[in-house]
Amino acid sequence: MKIQVVGPGCYRCHATERNVINACAELDLAADISHVNDPRQFAALGVRMTPAVVVDGKVLVSGKVPTVEELKRLLSALRQAGS
């Protein structure tokens, strides 16, 4: 699973990245997590508002900092759909 945290590097973006890492750890989910901070790439990924979380090319969250619990629900649903 490839997870991209999209945002310019502000506090909210770092909080989102931290929550993604924590959610993956709590789910024991092996994921390739990266941070995209180049504004030219935001539109190419389909992101209009940051921070955003993109999983395998699909925008899951945009314009807010998702909680660890919210991310766990979303990631679990994706993992089950992929099984």
Find the catalytic residue in 3, 5, 6, 13. Answer: 13
Annotation marks residue 13 as catalytic: yes
Instruction: Give the integer Cα–Cα distance in Å for 43 and 19.
Output: 23
Q: CA-based angle 22:33:15, to the nearest 5?
A: 50
Query: Which residue of the set 2, 9, 10, 39 is catalytic?
Result: 10
Residue 15's DSSP bridge partners are none
Residues annotated as part of the active site: 10, 13
